[in-house]
């Protein structure tokens, strides 16, 4: 009788836009006590636009935007798209860049007029050992409180006042940020009901993101999320899932990006959402084709209902 129940379960799932790649995971979903969500594009729309620009003295906003757009010229990341769009909208003069390089989970770099220029977030700044000047710190704090993602423009060799840190090394290709861009993202309407629905089922909700702690905390507070992992590099995302497992939790991961693949594999139940990247889909046990995070709640309920039938 079990194969029959599993078959019913699978076809019910299919009718609800859930593709089951691993039936055991579907049966086990009833036992989940923690579900981890990727932030950008999963709990939020991920359609970010540049809403604010700040620069240090002597750097023009349009010039900074033009430079950032040139460096982002080759990137498919939604932050890159938003920056290019903002430059277009402002009608700033285009600059050309060469030697594009993507720094996964950090940002991008390219060469403009023979000089290395970086654009990226907090993970990039730690890697470059950059100090954020006070003008930009205040800007970033304000942006963070409003759940806005901030990325910085760093031009090779430009260092601010020595701050006693390790920065200022003459041979360094990096520098301190000369401009910052705030990007607005919107929490998906469904996300509120997802968190409430999972809490009603006794499931804890966690969020995993490469974005800054400020933004992650703001989104988590708004949604009532229990646990936050922020500023996590792509290669470390699966470790956060394992941390929860080591605490004895039975964990699902929900994500859509290439970056999420190792965490999807590590999780007890890996759930790819939306069109998802091929890599995410191949690493998942279950694929939610309708790109509706509410399907995560439906999936757990369906698993619980099928299990009762089997007893």
Instruction: Give the residues lining the site for ligand ADP (CB under 6 A).
Output: 38-40, 72, 75, 77, 79-80, 105-108, 119-121, 123, 149, 151, 209-211, 234, 257, 259
Instruction: Please tell me the distance from the alpha carbon of residue 131 to that of residue 163, in angstroms, as a whole number.
Output: 8
Cα–Cα nearest to 187, from 234, 226, 210, 220: 220
Is 38 assigned a catalytic role?
A: yes
- In angstroms, give the least distance from the CB of 120 to Mg ion: 15
Q: Considering the candidates 22, 38, 211, 285, report the single residue annotated as catalytic.
A: 38
Residue 75 interacting entry, from ligand ADP, Mg ion, none, C-beta within 5 to 8 Å by type? ligand ADP
Residue the block writes with tokens 């023009």 = 60
Residue nearest to ligand ADP (CB): 121
CA distances from 206 to 55, 222, 230, 281 (A): 34, 13, 11, 21
Q: Does 40 bind Mg ion (CB under 5 A)?
A: yes
Q: Per-residue contact track with Mg ion, 243 to 262, x per CB under 5 A?
A: --------------x-----
- In angstroms, give the least distance from the CB of 289 to Mg ion: 18
Q: Per-residue contact track with Mg ion, 46 to 85, x per CB under 5 A?
A: ----------------------------------------
Instruction: Please tell me the distance from the alpha carbon of residue 153 to that of residue 173, in angstroms, as a whole number.
Output: 13
Cα–Cα nearest to 275, from 36, 13, 46: 46
- In angstroms, give the least distance from the CB of 307 to ligand ADP: 32
- In angstroms, give the least distance from the CB of 203 to Mg ion: 21
The conformation of residue 93, written as its DSSP 8-state character, comes to P
Cα–Cα nearest to 259, from 101, 104, 103: 104
Residue 121 interacting entry, from ligand ADP, Mg ion, none, C-beta within 5 to 8 Å by type? ligand ADP
Name every residue whose Cβ is closer than 8 Å to that of residue 238 and which is 6 or more positions away in sequence: 262, 263, 265, 266
CA distances from 165 to 116, 130, 131, 132, 160 (A): 22, 9, 8, 12, 12
Query: Of the listed pieces 39-47, 74-82, 176-184, 246-254, which binds Mg ion according to CB under 5 A?
Result: 39-47
Residue 270 interacting entry, from ligand ADP, Mg ion, none, C-beta within 5 to 8 Å by type? none
Residue nearest to Mg ion (CB): 257
* Nearest CB to ligand ADP, comparing residues 26 and 216: 216
The backbone torsions φ and ψ at residue 191, rounded to the nearest 5 degrees and listed phi first, read -60, -35
Q: Which residues are catalytic?
A: 38
Q: Provide the binding-site residues for Mg ion, judged by CB under 5 A.
A: 38, 40-41, 257
């Amino acid at each position: 009788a079990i194969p029959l129940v599993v078959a019913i379960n699978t076809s019910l799932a299919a009718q609800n836009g859930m593709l089951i790649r691993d039936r055991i995971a579907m049966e086990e979903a009833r036992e989940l006590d923690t579900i981890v969500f990727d932030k950008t594009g999963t709990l939020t729309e991920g359609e970010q636009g540049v809403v604010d620009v700040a620069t240090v003295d002597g750097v023009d906003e349009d010039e900074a935007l033009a430079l950032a757009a040139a460096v982002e010229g080759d990137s498919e990341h939604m932050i890159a798209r938003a920056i290019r769009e903002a430059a277009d909208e402002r009608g700033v003069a285009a600059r050309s860049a060469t030697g594009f390089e993507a720094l996964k989970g950090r940002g991008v770099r390219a060469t403009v007029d023979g000089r290395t220029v970086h654009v990226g977030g907090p993970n990039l700044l730690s890697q470059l050992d950059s100090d954020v000047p006070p003008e930009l710190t205040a800007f970033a704090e304000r942006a963070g409180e409003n759940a806005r993602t901030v990325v910085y423009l760093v031009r090779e060799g430009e260092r601010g006042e020595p701050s006693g840190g390790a920065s200022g090394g003459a041979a360094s290709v990096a520098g301190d940020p000369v401009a910052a861009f705030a990007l607005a993202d919107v929490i998906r309407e469904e996300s509120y009901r997802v968190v409430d629905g999972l809490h009603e089922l006794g499931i804890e909700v966690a969020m995993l993101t490469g974005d800054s702690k400020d933004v992650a905390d703001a989104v988590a507070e708004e949604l009532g999320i229990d646990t936050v992992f922020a500023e996590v590099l792509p290669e470390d995302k699966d470790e956060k899932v394992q941390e929860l497992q080591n605490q004895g939790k039975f964990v699902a991961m929900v994500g859509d990006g290439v970056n999420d693949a190792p965490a999807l594999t590590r999780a007890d139940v890996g759930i790819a959402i939306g069109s998802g990247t091929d890599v995410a889909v191949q690493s998942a046990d279950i694929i939610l084709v309708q790109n509706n995070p509410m399907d995560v709640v439906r999936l757990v309920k369906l698993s619980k209902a099928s299990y009762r039938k089997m007893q």
